[in-house]
Amino acid sequence: MALKFIIDFLVARFFFEKTWSPIDYIIWPNGNATVLLRMGEDERIFGLTMLAISIPFIIIGTTMTFQRLKSACLPPILVLLFFVPVVNLFLIGILCVRIPKQPSPELADLTPVPETPKPGILYLFGATFLSALLTVCMVVLGANLLANYGFALFIGAPFAHGFFSVLIYGWKTPQPFWRCISIGLQSTILAGCLLFFFGIEGAICLLMFLPLGLILALLGCCFGYMVQARPWLQKSFPSMLLMPLAGLPFVMGMESNFEPTSMLRQVDSSIVIHADRETVWNVVVAFPPIPDDNLPWYFRTGVAYPVRAEIHGEGVGAVRKCVFSTGPFIEPITRWEKPHRLSFDVVDQPCPMHELSPYKIHPPHLDNYLRSQKGEFRLVNLGNGQTRLEGTTWYKNRMWPQEYWGQWSDAIIHQVHLRVLDHIRQHAEASRKTS
């Protein structure tokens, strides 16, 4: 892996004058160039060159993985996982500790003891509190000091936490599987509680990360169990514990210096209004305050929600101000096609939320990690005095993995759309009845 990275880095730097980092193995090409045929000429040559360099490494890697799967008595079809980013690292890790089908004589007596006494209080303390505290330190380093919310923080840290806690727990005597899983998950939950009570993160963000964090911590626990269940690896325990302690800060630093480009996400919402387009248009450009009487629970947790909209001027160049619970969005109008379409850019925006915490905290991800780029309202005449009002927001989310965090932000923005669209519907229909 080190040799491959050095070769790729040198080729990219000196032949194509491009930067190259370990992150590029996971998300290259990025969202701006995802299909080879749609790339520019220079980008296509660069991609084909990097692919050609990879061919010998692919042959060696797949051949060794296939042979190792056979020796470990695992289905050879798993060799396909070698080509899946991130997953292939877990596969290689499992194959590193899996006992061969026919072990050598010096590995003959390796069967883990099925019934073992529980570790002493020192190992229990290290597996729970010490590993949780180390995870808190990693979060402070990655999020608060480096202001980087990348793969090392959201994937590497929880996996390393589960592995770290189980390895300490079974340091002296190999422990049963479910006991390892239990101690690892307890320590993971403790780490989340410490992040909350130390005022490092808010409750809502921790709950949003909980599904992904628990799964990765569970995988780390499983890997830790396989390692600690083999006494012949015990001499390597210290170096195995040092790997995440040294590797995670290094990767966090790399990610902060070589942050990839975030892809532009799009959220569409629509509603049918029993009113003509002219009536709907007048409410769209500037709507009165939205009452908080029936505010949904998720907006009561601190997530920003729309309050009212006002506009200064008319036509292209006018400035629309959409006020949220955390502050105003400043939206200069770019298309004014009355009563069909209203488009605008977003040049300034408030925080996406107030953290739910007993302390007044402001984590770095509240600033410029979720950025709206532009928005649009489209009014479609359905006939019979009906109008379909469509709202679209284009935005970027700089938190990784984007597909995970993007699902959360898409859902929140969709609920913001529905709150605005339904309020416009109520006023437009009321105006129609009045007229």
More confident site: 317 or 261: 317
Q: What is the pLDDT of residue 241?
A: 82
Q: Between the ranges 36-50, 145-159, 338-352, where is the mean pLDDT highest?
A: 338-352
Dihedral of CA 345/327/265/310: which sign?
negative
In sequence order, what E strands does 75-118 have? none
Q: How many C-beta atoms surround the C-beta of residue 245 within 10 A?
A: 13
In sequence order, what E strands does 12-126 have? none
Q: Is the full-model pTM beyond 0.85?
A: no
Q: What is the pLDDT averaged over residues 148-153?
A: 89
Q: What is the pLDDT of residue 113?
A: 45
**What dihedral angle (degrees, nearest 10) is formed by the CA atoms of 344, 346, 351, 352?**
50
Question: Do 240 and 227 contact (CB within 8 A), yes or no?
Answer: yes
Q: What is the pLDDT of residue 38?
A: 57
* 288-294 contact pairs (CB < 8 A, 24+): 288/427, 290/419, 290/420, 290/423
More confident site: 156 or 42: 156
Which pLDDT tens digit goes with each residue over 307-342? 999 999 999 999 999 999 999 999 999 999 999 999
Q: Is residue 103's pLDDT more than 80?
A: no
Q: What is the pLDDT of residue 66?
A: 85
User: Please, which pLDDT band fits residue 31 given cuts at 50, 70 and 90?
Assistant: very low
Average pLDDT, the chain: 85
Alpha carbon distance 351, 304 (integer Å): 8
Alpha carbon distance 223, 217 (integer Å): 10
Q: What is the pLDDT of residue 18?
A: 82
332 three-state secondary structure: strand
Burial (CB < 10 A; 0-12, 13-18, 19+), residue 294, is exposed
Q: How many C-beta atoms surround the C-beta of residue 107 within 10 A?
A: 12
Tokens read off for 299: 């907006």
Q: Which domains are seen in the chain, by residue range?
A: 1-103 (no CATH), 115-259 (no CATH), 264-434 (3.30.530.20)
Alpha carbon distance 85, 24 (integer Å): 10
